[in-house]
Structure 1
């Protein structure tokens, strides 16, 4: 079945998007510790709490799924979830602990829509598009494509891309201080390096290079990835509502 095969391929790509946010969300917020200007910000002090907004959002958006499915149908809800991934990554790209804190929080809220809408509507599509004989196997394949192959693909490719194109190494205290817009004797910077196990030598060089990631470009790349998938899915995935879908949607609405 061409349509089902296409759906599973896109499921794998969306699984990659999920892996990106799982792997790098905490790391992204944690690296704001490098910047003295953000030392006392809410993001640095309570990064785990802020990320947990995503889990709360997951719970709340589950309640909205019946309404969206009934109003828009399965395909449009899947497209909405893909667009939510674009916003998830895009908001992270421009968010920071100061003036951009609202973007970080909104990104965590949008995550619930991105995660729930695809998982539930995707599972419903598989449920209503397969016979009872292969339904369990198809649902298992759906989970394997998103949380298995998709997660592996997202992890391997993103890791390679970030290391090769978006990571810069700093080998001396002067260039590191310039990066974070402070002086070489800044107490916060020295403590940050010490926590990383990096010492400043007499000549100003670091005992080992400090790797710093260009998170703005990383998140924009992820947003572009999600946008391309969204457009391709909207164009390539031809789907019309069936009576079985309408009945299934009515069941979860009650």
Structure 2
């Protein structure tokens, strides 16, 4: 890959996640303070991410994979997104805001797969070349949170500027996309099937009882995850944390650090313990939030945020590796699409619709919530998922993969590597 292509792809990845991080983290605070939205309304707005994840495979499978070059579809979607993000800043009420944010997420979520497709097409060895480019995406999310925190947009109640900032970045990325290397449709001329689009060809993996337990646990653990995404920023601002969006970016720094350490943990722990540690981190995070404050227990709030790296890397990244190794070459892509649809689609959607009414139920006044009770609920859900997982996920046999990682499977299970 030449330097010009590397710079373009790195810039693309930075902007891709800068756009998302620019408004997503603080949207709940914006909705509550600026538009007077309830907890249920806030969660409904965040459910747009899940609906976008559910609809995204149709856009990719029916359009990008068969008719148009990925970089051109990426450009059109981001230019459309820029217009929607700017328009949303002119809307003074939640009823007008909701359909626009839904439309935006239907446009944005497919771009997550498209930036990967454009990147992989230019790489001779994606396993080595992709991580240095993908890490720019996490850095973009961190920069977005840092800008919001240090400019004081939360404290000044000017979070409408986050959408404007994201709109400008989306415009830039939309224009940049048309200069990216050509990525022609991978399945041009081929017929589409519902199984192909949704990744249902990999559903046979669920015949493996251990994988079925993992799959159901993945959906269930995304229910408490929705509480974190939907209400952490409103919670931190309500309890008086300064520069909350900036502090929340510590979770992304943690994600980077634990990602680098994951190979060491794999060797020592194996898949079952890695997944269990990830779920345990979820429980601890909500306990820290429940009992943390901006006084003597300020460290609990920081710890709960920093645990994001353990929660994400140990569960989701480990789960992706586990899925990849069990699926074999034929079903790798389908299996990853299927698990993504189940987690960020179904699991997070359930979590969004559960979290909103719970937050409203424990509202003490117009500006105060009983956050201790609120956070103990997703903590309890995560604890139940962890216990069920430990009881039913069997690791009777250790199988060594080509990558050197130990993947646990049942003796009669089939593993293609």
* TM-score above 0.5: yes
Q: Does 1:85 align with 2:304?
A: no
Unmatched runs of 5 consecutive residues or more in structure 1: 34-42, 170-209
Contact 2:224 2:379 (8 Å CA) reproduced: no
**Counterparts of 1:245 and 1:142, CA distance in 2:** 21
Displacement of 1:217: 0.7
Q: Compute the TM-score of the two structures, normalised by the length of structure 2.
A: 0.46
Aligned to 2:315: 118
- Give CA-to-partner distance per residue, 1:108-158, whole Å, 9 cap, x none: 111111111111110111111123222211111111112111110110011
Of the three residues 75, 99, 121, the one matched with 2:272 is: 75
The runs of at least 4 consecutive aligned structure 1 residues that moved more than 4 Å come to none
Aligned to 2:30: none
Contact 2:279 2:386 (8 Å CA) reproduced: yes
Unmatched runs of 5 consecutive residues or more in structure 2: 1-206, 407-417
**Counterparts of 2:352 and 2:257, CA distance in 1:** 28
**Counterparts of 1:246 and 1:93, CA distance in 2:** 43
> What is the root-mean-square deviation in Å for CA atoms of aligned residues?
1.7
Of the three residues 299, 319, 338, the one matched with 1:141 is: 338
Aligned to 1:153: 350
**Counterparts of 1:110 and 1:155, CA distance in 2:** 21
Contact 1:94 1:100 (8 Å CA) reproduced: yes
Of the three residues 366, 375, 382, the one matched with 1:219 is: 375
Contact 2:238 2:367 (8 Å CA) reproduced: no
Question: After the TM superposition, which residues 181-220 of structure 1 pair with which residues of structure 2 at under 5 Å, given as runs?
Answer: 210=366, 212-220=368-376
Displacement of 1:246: 6.8
**Counterparts of 2:328 and 2:384, CA distance in 1:** 32
Q: Compute the TM-score of the two structures, normalised by the length of structure 1.
A: 0.73
Aligned to 2:7: none
Q: Does 1:233 align with 2:386?
A: no
Cα gap change, 1:110/1:21 in structure 2, threshold over 3 Å: closer, same or farther? same
Of the three residues 242, 247, 250, the one matched with 1:50 is: 247
Cα gap change, 1:139/1:111 in structure 2, threshold over 3 Å: closer, same or farther? same
| SS at 1:243 equivalent | strand
- How many residues are matched? 199
Q: Which has the higher contact order (CA 8 A, sep 6+)?
A: 1
